[in-house]
């Protein structure tokens, strides 16, 4: 994990920010899941709210959807950050509708304005989680997709109890309980259509460059291709701007672990959990059972 992003998010808005191997892989597998959801529900409009999570360059997680023709709206509670996000999108030749709010208790949109609402590792920064979920329910037609840090993962415990203790007050652990999120969403009329683990690379979720971690273990050969340490930083923005058309293929070289590792390993190794809700699908009881881990 990378909780210091709370203090350092501005630094990633420099030209070609280096996000590292971990964040780069994370973005690619997240895009794969978002594209599955787009096709499954016929998504043409998307709301990402809140937009601020804890990984690298803020505000570009919905860019892949935009490049597939989805009309994207981003909501943040920080006007300067939203302005910087707009600059990053313009650099990639894309546009979104940006909305700045004081908090997330009242979203300025009409009912059922969006096919999909979603967020990634952002819920633990929200002061009133129930009100946010109520607002997402009000403005969403088809599906809500929530990604949260894996509370049972090794990296989560390391960050929570060992690293950056000064930031513990910045986040609300109770907001990212998969079981509690399923209960709240069920009470709002949503059914859990799918849940699971995402972002399960062959390295742990620790607050250091994954390239350095693998090299320390004598596994540097896994990153022998250029990973951003040579002529340019490693960032998915180079793919979005056309500089590195092979970026996705390079990151997917590490996807074998996520595809093959058994579930019980993912429980403690995955960096994130995801919950996909729709207005049909499986029953509430089945949904709660599937999120017990």
Does pTM top 0.85 for this prediction?
Answer: yes
Question: What is the total count of domains within the chain?
Answer: 1
For residue 287, tell me if it sits in a domain: no
H/E stretch holding 16: none
The sign of the CA dihedral 257, 63, 75, 23 is positive
For residue 289, tell me if it sits in a domain: no
Whose tokens are 């340490």? That residue is 229
Find out whether the peptide bond into 50 is cis, omega within 30 degrees of 0. Answer: yes
For residue 223, tell me if it sits in a domain: yes
What's the token pair of residue 147? 């990604």
H/E stretch holding 193: strand 191-198
For residue 175, tell me if it sits in a domain: yes
Whose tokens are 């509430």? That residue is 284
Domain that holds residue 30: 5-280
DSSP character at residue 204: -
For residue 246, tell me if it sits in a domain: yes
For residue 186, tell me if it sits in a domain: yes
CATH number, domain containing residue 122: 3.40.50.150
For residue 290, tell me if it sits in a domain: no
For residue 292, tell me if it sits in a domain: no
Q: How far is CA 76 from the centre of its chain?
A: 15
Question: For residues 61 and 132, is the Cβ–Cβ distance under 8 A?
Answer: no
Write out the chain's pLDDT in tens, 293 residues.
455 577 788 989 987 688 889 999 999 999 999 999 999 999 999 999 999 987 789 999 999 999 999 999 999 999 999 999 999 999 999 999 999 999 999 999 999 999 999 999 999 899 999 999 999 999 999 999 999 999 998 877 776 665 555 556 667 888 999 999 999 999 999 999 999 999 999 988 765 555 555 555 555 555 555 444 456 789 999 999 999 999 999 999 999 999 999 999 999 999 999 999 999 854 333 333 333 33
């Amino acid at each position: 994990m990378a909780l210091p992003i709370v203090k350092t998010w501005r630094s990633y808005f420099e030209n070609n920010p280096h996000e590292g191997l971990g964040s780069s892989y994370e973005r690619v597998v997240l895009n794969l899941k978002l594209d599955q959801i787009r096709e499954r529900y016929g998504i043409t409009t998307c709301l990402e709210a809140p937009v601020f999570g804890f990984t690298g360059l803020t505000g570009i997680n919905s860019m892949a959807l935009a490049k597939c023709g989805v009309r994207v709206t981003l909501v943040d509670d920080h006007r300067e950050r939203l302005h910087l996000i707009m600059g990053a999108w313009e650099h990639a030749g894309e546009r979104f509708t940006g909305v700045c709010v004081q908090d997330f208790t009242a979203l300025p949109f009409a009912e059922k304005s969006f096919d999909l609402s979603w967020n990634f590792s952002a819920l633990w920064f929200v002061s009133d989680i129930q009100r946010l979920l109520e607002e997402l329910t009000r403005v969403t037609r088809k599906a809500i997709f929530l990604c949260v840090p894996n509370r049972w993962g090794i990296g989560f415990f390391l960050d929570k109890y060992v690293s950056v203790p000064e930031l513990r007050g910045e986040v609300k652990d109770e907001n990212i309980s998969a079981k509690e999120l399923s209960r709240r969403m069920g009470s709002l009329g949503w059914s859990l259509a799918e849940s699971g683990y995402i972002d399960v690379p062959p390295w742990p979720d620790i607050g250091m460059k994954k390239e350095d971690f693998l090299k320390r273990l004598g596994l540097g050969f896994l990153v022998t291709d250029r990973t951003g340490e040579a002529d340019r930083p490693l960032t998915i923005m180079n793919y979005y701007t056309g500089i590195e058309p092979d970026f996705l293929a390079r990151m997917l070289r590490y996807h074998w672990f996520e595809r093959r590792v058994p579930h019980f390993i993912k429980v403690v190794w995955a960096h994130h959990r995801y919950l996909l809700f729709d207005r049909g699908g499986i029953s509430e009881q089945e949904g709660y059972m599937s999120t017990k881990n």
